[in-house]
Amino acid sequence: MSSQLRSSEWYSGDDRNAYIHRAWMRRGLPDSAFAGARPHIAIANTASDLTPCNAHLDEVAQSVKNGIYEAGGIPLNLPVVSLGETQVRPTAMLWRNMAAMATEEMLRANPIDGVVLLGGCDKTIPALLMAAASVDLPAVVVPGGPMSTGTFRGEALGCGTDVWRLSEEVRAETLSERDFLRSESSMIRSRGHCNTMGTASTMALVAEALGTVIPGLAGTPAVDSRLLEASHETGRLAVALVEADRRPSTFLTKASFHNAIVALAAIGGSTNAVVHLLAIAGRLGIDLTLDDFDRIGANVPLLVNLQPAGRYLMDDLQRAGGFHAVLREVRDLLDPDALTITGRPLVDYLDDARIWDSDVITPRETPLLPAAGISVLRGSLAPGGALIKPAAASPHLLKHRGQAVVFDSIEDFYARIDDPELDVDADSVLVLRGCGPKGYPGMPEVANMPLPKKLLEQGVRDMVRICDGRMSGTAYGTVVLHVTPEAAAGGPLALVQTGDWISLDVRGRRLDLEVPAEELAARLPNQATLDGFAKPRRGWERLYVDHVMQADTGVDLDFLVGSSGPKVSRESH
């Protein structure tokens, strides 16, 4: 194998360059590390004190290292760009492609043969998978796992979801400000990522459904010793992956994405998974479209009773049988040929799975919803498509006609939404624009706009909301999101006026602005709308706005689509 190891291109030989590459790396490593027989495995590590959900990944990395050593490899910690969903502004999504690009380049530039990807918080696993797909080196993911369930006043608290719920209660004056603040440290009480079925949990499970995680690992809580055990195993596997030359392009196919979409529906996963999966597929050259999500996912039953769509949290899912118990129920919908990182099909791993608590994971015969997938809407307001997650919506609003109340930016929204004079009622449709990939920039999670205070006080708990932004995976409501094209890219969303009639028909998959085409063609965006769009002058934001694609193709940068492979053509000196 010696001549085949990529790292040997740096380390083998007696010339000055090989000397330089080896000498600085020695630091106690034995000669055998450079003899061309031991794979050098990077651990792409998103541990960071500013990504609290991933802060424990250094400990996970130690277990991965032990496994790599044990299997004869050389483990190398590689800190990569990390994104703390709750910390970075204006939105972590603005940096997902930057993290992916930086990671891709560092994996290619360095003398490594394979990589273990350590992620957790929302954008980290998608960015790592995009990078791995584009550099196409053997790669395996370790999801850092969800945090422990928090409790407050005797009840479980779900990260994210309960923040939205409790803050609405404060606004409706059914919860005191003081009690709201007391819940803060009860909600986040251990290492790990959000424990609801938000984007982090979703992407961990979806990464396993894709085949990029050692089967049975995803969903293991961050505090669970079995996470370290599986991390050790993953380290061993990474060495074997290099020997087998199992790169992303060799086993990820459209069938892998089919399984990811089935899983996404059955778990009631986050709408954010749609843009992430589209972006990952784009890196692999796999023809995945928005409509695939509707076609493949539409009739998949919802089997997982987790917040935000349901009641429980990730600890409960694990106790109730875990992700494989869910997949076993929908086994007939999975593609039997899709392989995992081990070289065996995903469906091979499901035989021993059992449901131990059918209130958390419901059997196929009694699903929480018979059809759970994310619906793709089209129509005169969203010619390129828009999404809605029916599982998180109110059934009575899935077919609705109402008059628009339009906001040009999130600042405009907050300035006016609680104004007692605002002309709005429960049938109104709240429209927020300027929140797409280009407009904000970065497509933030603002689509689940809070309801007007005066309507909350009347007991209104949901309204139809429409936005070109995203929604947190932990949020809920009848929210139409990812409207494409976004207002800042010339979409008709820019032309909606307060008072226009809008009709939503989820079953018919329609979203229409009831304005005659001639009248719409004669309208121009008003100045306030244009003022709401970002106009960055330099730096990453400038690059991003100039090159970002729309939500229907995954919000990647146009020049990052596809793969360049692992080859580096020139020496460094």
Select the residue interacting with ligand FES from 33, 41, 44, 53 (CB under 6 A).
53
Computed on alpha carbons and rounded to an integer, the radius of gyration of the chain in Å comes to 24
Going by DSSP bridges, is the β-strand pair 399-407/501-505 parallel, antiparallel, or unpaired? antiparallel
DSSP state of 452: P
d(CA 56, CA 511) in angstroms, rounded, equals: 44
Chain centre distance of CA 217: 18
Q: Which is nearer to ligand FES, 223 or 543 (CB)?
A: 223
Going by DSSP bridges, is the β-strand pair 399-407/429-432 parallel, antiparallel, or unpaired? parallel
Query: Are 169 and 153 contacting, i.e. CB atoms less than 8 angstroms apart?
Result: no
> Residue 525 binds which entry of Mg ion, ligand FES, none, with Cβ cut-offs from 5 to 8 Å by kind?
none
Judged by CB under 5 A, the chain residues 537 through 556 that form the site for Mg ion are none
CA atoms 31, 32, 38, 41: torsion sign: negative
CA angle 508, 478, 274 (to 5 degrees): 75
Binding mask 447-476 for Mg ion (x = CB under 5 A): -------------------------xx---
Cβ of residue 402: shortest distance to ligand FES, in angstroms?
32
SS3 346: helix
CB-facing half-sphere around the CA of 510: CA atoms within 13 A: 12
Query: Are 412 and 512 contacting, i.e. CB atoms less than 8 angstroms apart?
Result: no
Largest CA distance in the chain: 80
Chain centre distance of CA 449: 20
Select the residue interacting with ligand FES from 62, 77, 86, 380 (CB under 6 A).
86
Neighbours of 451 (CB within 10 A): 23
Stretch that binds ligand FES, among 176-184, 192-200, 270-278, 532-540 (CB under 6 A): 192-200
Interface size with ligand FES, residues (CB under 6 A): 11
Q: Which is nearer to ligand FES, 82 or 234 (CB)?
A: 82
Cβ of residue 192: shortest distance to ligand FES, in angstroms?
8
Binding mask 57-86 for Mg ion (x = CB under 5 A): ----------------------------x-
Q: Which is nearer to ligand FES, 99 or 493 (CB)?
A: 99
Binding mask 125-164 for ligand FES (x = CB under 6 A): ----------------------------------xx----
Based on the shown chain and the rule CB under 6 A, indicate whether residue 121 belongs to the binding site for ligand FES: yes
Select the residue interacting with ligand FES from 194, 213, 391, 488 (CB under 6 A).
194
d(CA 273, CA 264) in angstroms, rounded, equals: 8
Neighbours of 271 (CB within 10 A): 26
Q: Which is nearer to ligand FES, 53 or 64 (CB)?
A: 53
> Residue 144 binds which entry of Mg ion, ligand FES, none, with Cβ cut-offs from 5 to 8 Å by kind?
none
Stretch that binds ligand FES, among 25-33, 190-198, 206-214, 562-570 (CB under 6 A): 190-198
Query: Are 244 and 343 contacting, i.e. CB atoms less than 8 angstroms apart?
Result: yes
> Residue 472 binds which entry of ligand FES, Mg ion, none, with Cβ cut-offs from 5 to 8 Å by kind?
Mg ion
Select the residue interacting with ligand FES from 93, 157, 200, 429 (CB under 6 A).
200
Select the residue interacting with ligand FES from 193, 232, 465, 470 (CB under 6 A).
193
Cβ of residue 51: shortest distance to ligand FES, in angstroms?
7
Stretch that binds ligand FES, among 193-201, 341-349, 412-420, 460-468 (CB under 6 A): 193-201
CA dist list (Å): 130 to 62, 127, 137, 232: 24, 5, 12, 24
| Token duo for residue 547 | 């090159």
Neighbours of 99 (CB within 10 A): 23
| Residue for token pair 């429960």 | 426
| Token duo for residue 552 | 């229907």
Based on the shown chain and the rule CB under 6 A, indicate whether residue 190 belongs to the binding site for ligand FES: no
d(CA 563, CA 6) in angstroms, rounded, equals: 18
Q: Which is nearer to Mg ion, 268 or 473 (CB)?
A: 473
Phi, psi of 165 (to 5 degrees): -65, -50
Query: Are 445 and 475 contacting, i.e. CB atoms less than 8 angstroms apart?
Result: yes
Cβ of residue 122: shortest distance to ligand FES, in angstroms?
5
d(CA 33, CA 435) in angstroms, rounded, equals: 50
Based on the shown chain and the rule CB under 6 A, indicate whether residue 315 belongs to the binding site for ligand FES: no
Select the residue interacting with Mg ion from 45, 134, 199, 305 (CB under 5 A).
199
Going by DSSP bridges, is the β-strand pair 501-505/114-119 parallel, antiparallel, or unpaired? unpaired
Select the residue interacting with Mg ion from 56, 83, 91, 122 (CB under 5 A).
122
Q: Which is nearer to ligand FES, 85 or 162 (CB)?
A: 85
Q: Which is nearer to Mg ion, 211 or 444 (CB)?
A: 444
> Residue 121 binds which entry of ligand FES, Mg ion, none, with Cβ cut-offs from 5 to 8 Å by kind?
ligand FES
Phi, psi of 142 (to 5 degrees): -115, 110
Select the residue interacting with ligand FES from 55, 64, 81, 85 (CB under 6 A).
85
Cβ of residue 159: shortest distance to ligand FES, in angstroms?
6
DSSP state of 548: B
Q: Note the residues at the interface with Mg ion (CB under 5 A).
A: 85, 122, 198-199, 472-473
Rule CB under 6 A: which residues touch ligand FES? 53, 85-86, 121-122, 159-160, 193-194, 198, 200
